[in-house]
Amino acid sequence: MITLNLYDSNKSDIKFELNRFPDGEVQVTELEVDKFVEGMRLIAPIRNAEELFIFEQVMWLIHKKIHAVNIIIPYLMGARNDRNMAKGRCATLFSVLWGITCNLFKTLDTITFVTVHNEEAVGFWFEEETTVKFVNPYPNFTTNEEQIVIFPDAGAERRFKHLVNGPYLIAEKHRDINHEQSRIVSYELKNPNGYDLSKINKVIIVDDLIDGGFTFKLLSTEVHKMLIANDFIMELYATHFIQEDSLLSLTEYYDEIFVCDTFRSLPEHKNIHKLKELEEMI
């Protein structure tokens, strides 16, 4: 399939240039519009407002030539702010999705998102005629008396429990309600179903995104308290990571880390692995 890849120009079948005016405005130039074909693929991360502007420019040019495009959004800015109504942070997500939907041929375009925080909140913005897909890179996890999955919160359980065949635990977050972003200050791990954890030798943490890494360090500490008598390894699975330094710091807390390069390239480290290529997900 012919691909216009705004994330990695080296992997793009359709060449383009990005130029910046003195006032800072970025413009897409030298775009090979003669290569546009119906159903072509557009890979367009939206990590910031500028990339949304680039997406809107490209979509306008695409629909001057063709009627249908297969859009892939590896990372969606504002996706984690789907429910912070009181603080107004949800405005970011609303603005981004408004910018996307205003540039679609609703009955002909297909759009695929990679591991968003809330599929319902994102899907709400699209008309029924638009084909909207949600994909993630995770394998299926089989748990037993020696291996268990722990979700960092109820949201992660809701999103990923269908991947787990067997028992799992859910961590409970405790937040500082006086902090501007209600920062997580501690975790509490419970075992309400009374699973026998005495033979556990592998713990797998599954979530959507690694940002600063602070909460995953807290969670690791809590797991080691719960399983203080066990000799075990810890693995962390997440689709997106934002800060390279934060990801590297987590190698002191987790034996193996599996992530994707949906936001940035993976740093070189023997314990950090690419979970799945974008092409494999779509």
The matching CATH number, chosen from 3.30.465.10, 3.90.1150.10, 3.30.565.10, 3.40.50.2020, for 141-274 is 3.40.50.2020
- Site of tokens 């041929």: 105
Digit-coded pLDDT (tens) for 196-252 = 999 999 999 999 999 989 999 999 999 999 999 999 999 999 999 999 999 999 999
CB distance 24 to 37 below 8 Å: no
Assign 78 a pLDDT band (cuts: 50, 70, 90).
confident
Q: What is the pLDDT of residue 85?
A: 45
Query: Against a cut of 0.85, is the pTM above it?
Result: yes
CB distance 73 to 111 below 8 Å: yes
Digit-coded pLDDT (tens) for 171-201 = 988 876 666 556 677 888 888 889 999 999 9
The matching CATH number, chosen from 3.40.50.2020, 3.50.50.60, 3.20.20.60, 2.40.30.30, for 3-135 is 3.40.50.2020
Where in the chain are the domains?
3-135, 141-274
Q: What is the pLDDT of residue 21?
A: 93
Burial zone of 19 (CB within 10 Å; 0-12 exposed, 13-18 middle, 19+ buried): exposed
- Site of tokens 């995104």: 209
Q: Which of 121, 15, 107 is nearest to 58 (CA)?
A: 15
Comparing 3-135 with 141-274, is the CATH topology the same? yes
